[in-house]
Each structure stands twice: as C-alpha cells, then as structure tokens.
Amino acid sequence: MGAITLLPGAARAQAGFPAQPLRLIVPFAPAGTTDLTARLVAQGLGERLGQTVVVENRPGAGAMVGSEAVARSTADGYTLVMSNIASHAISPSLYPTGAVRYDPVRDFTHIALVTSNPSVWVANLRSGIADVAALLQRARSQRGGLDVASSGAGSSNHLLIVQLAQVAGVSLNHVPYRGAGPAMTAVIAGEVPAMSDSLPSAAAHVRQGSVRAIAMSSETRHPGFPEVPTFREQGLDIVSTSWFGISGPAGLPAAVVARLNAEIRAVLATQEVRARFAEFGGTPGDMDAAAYGRFVAAEFARWAPVVKASGAEAG
C-alpha cells in the first residue's frame, strides 16, 4: 500500500522537474576536456529540459573541490557535477587520509556516463621531441629528469606520467596545472616541453599544429588522428582511457534521476553531439543510472591499488 501511494508523488516530482535553472559544476579550469564535454552536453540538456543549465568551473585539489561542493549540496537535482576518473576514481586514493572529504560512491547519485576517450602526449614544437623515443632519451640525458605537464594532480594523465616513468625506467617530473587549458598554454609557450592530456582538450591544438602529438594511449590508432602512433606501436605496453559523466548528491529522487538520465542519453544520441565527440576524439556513453553507479564503484576499486602501487602522491 505504501509503495502505491508513493507513485503519484514521484510522478508529480518528475513532471514538475525542473522548475528553475540547473548548475553543472566542472571541477577543473575552463578549456579542458571536462569543461568542453560539460558545455556541449549542457546546451542540449537545457533545451530538452526547458531550463538553462549553467556551467560553473570550480577547480582545485585533483577535482575534489568542486566534487565536494556537490556532495554537500541539496539533493534536489539542481546542482550536478561532471564526475570523472580523477574526482571519483584516482584522487580519493591519491590524497592523504583526511584530505578527501567525500566518498566517491556513497556520497553521490551517479546519473549517466557521458563520454570516454584516450590520452595523447604532445610536445612543444621547438623541444626537438618528435616521438616517444626522443622523449625518453631527453629524460635520460637531462639532469633531474624531464618535466611533463598535466591538468592537475589526481588526473588520469598524472597517473599516465607515473606509469610511463615506471615502464620506461626514466625520471619524469609531474608538473600539475589547474586544468588542461593552462597546461597546454605552458607547453605551447615552452615553459614545459611536454604534456599528457585527454584527447578532446588537445584535439584542436594538434590539428592546428600548435603542438606535436607524439603518442596516443588507445589500443589502436584513433580514427580521427590516424597519423599519431600509439604507445604500443612505440614499444611501450601502455593503454589508458579517461571517462566523464554527470552525478548529483546522494539521495536524489528516483524520478529526477530517471528524467535526467533519459534526457542526457537523448542528447548524446543526437547526430550533432555524436559528430562533435567524433571531432575531438570522444566516444558517447549510453548507460542507465544504475549501470553508471556500478561503473564508478568498479573504477574506484580498480584504481585504488594502482595508485598505491605507483607511489604517486598529490602535488
């Protein structure tokens, strides 16, 4: 009887949502993959919901600042976060006990997977680094090792730098920035010679020729960038994929979750969005909320021992 009486209320909640604009928190600086993905989806989602979806950048602490803000927000569906491999799989294990003030599984309602993509390593045009062999040679010959930038501590690209150093037996110094945009600017200017970046945020720079792409972390060459060899082709067994989704605080009403999941997946299925993802190297997701929740839990469980074994630390 109780379940039957709850159904009309749930239906009304779904029918009345949303009654005001939504905030989509991006826990990284503008111009990075998370930001580009958020703005692409927010536009279509807002049109389908009939409300503006405002994208707000709140970078810091390996994507944990913005993520924590959403975990502590009211569970009404109006404050969401671009959950990602950094904020919900890597950073919670990378930072010391006490620094992480949320549980990536229990403190969120995971709504939908948006996209996944490989990483690409790029080098400054004047660095003389044309491929992975040249990068490793520079790292071996340069006193103190080679500086390599990323969008920040806790990102998958941070761990990729650690992994490459271990696999190749060289010294690579992680140089974290507050987002992929500032890091890419530093590489173009020659402040750092190379960068590990997610493909979507690097794609335009690679196509414009403002940086040189030297390796892709996909299993095979990416169809959008067939000229860029993989790490495996260059003798290193390294494969890595980043992912991005949309989540809210724990306890979101089921009807709201169902509505958001359906609308997000509808946006991802449009020809326009699929074409944009193909353009910058992303693969659209298609999971219901329960599947995405299981996916995030599995990724957190997968990366925790990797972070510990790597010896990587935030900073």
- Hey, what's the torsion of the CAs at 275, 130, 85, 83, to 10 degrees? -50
243-68-303-97 Cα dihedral, nearest 10 degrees: 170
66 and 15 both lie in a single domain: yes
221 located within any domain = yes
CATH number, residue 220 = 3.40.190.10
With respect to residue 135, please indicate whether it lies within any of the assigned structural domains. yes
pLDDT one-digit tens code per residue, 153-197: 878 899 999 999 999 999 999 999 988 899 999 999 999 999 999
Domain boundary among 201, 234, 267: 234
Enumerate residues 6+ apart whose C-beta is below 8 A from 271.
none
Residue 140 sits in the same domain as residue 200: yes
pTM: 0.81
Total of domains in the chain: 2
**Are both 88 and 147 inside the same structural domain?**
no
Inside any domain, residue 194: yes
Name the domain boundary from 216, 234, 252.
234
| pLDDT on residue 311 | 77
- Judge whether 249 lies within some domain: yes
Residues of the chain with pLDDT under 70: 1-15, 315
Q: Element (H or E) spanning 116, and its range?
A: strand 108-123
Give yes or no: residues 266 and 252 share one domain.
yes
Claim to verify: residue 106 and residue 175 sit in the same structural domain = no
128 within a domain of the structure (yes/no): yes
pLDDT value at residue 14: 53
If asked whether residues 136 and 193 sit together in one domain, one would say yes
Whichever domain contains 274, its CATH number is: 3.40.190.150
> What pLDDT score was predicted for residue 24?
98
234, 261, 284 - which closes a domain: 234
DSSP state of 50: T
Claim to verify: residue 268 and residue 284 sit in the same structural domain: yes
Return the DSSP state at 142.
Answer: S
Same domain, 162 and 216: yes
Domain with 227, as residue range(s), is 118-234
Q: What is the DSSP letter of 4?
A: H
Measured between alpha carbons, how far is residue 301 from residues 85, 89, 153, 306 in Å? 12, 8, 19, 9
Alpha-carbon 54 to chain mean position: 19
One domain for residues 54 and 92: yes
- Secondary structure letter of residue 10 according to DSSP: H
What's the angle, vertex CA 55, arms to CA 101 and CA 22, rounded to 5?
85
How far is residue 287's CA from residue 250's CA, in Å, rounded to a whole number?
18
Query: For residue 287, what are its two tokens?
Result: 């999971």
pLDDT of residue 75: 98
Distance CA 220, CA 240 (A): 11
Q: What is the pLDDT of residue 186?
A: 98
> What pLDDT, on the 0 to 100 scale, is given for residue 8?
43
Q: Are residues 76 and 151 in the same domain?
A: no
Residue 202 is assigned to a structural domain of this protein: yes
Tokens of 278: 């193909």
Q: Do residue 228 and residue 123 come from a single domain?
A: yes
Q: Are residues 122 and 227 in the same domain?
A: yes
In a domain, 315, yes or no: no
Taking the CB of residue 14, how many other CB atoms lie within 10 A of it?
17
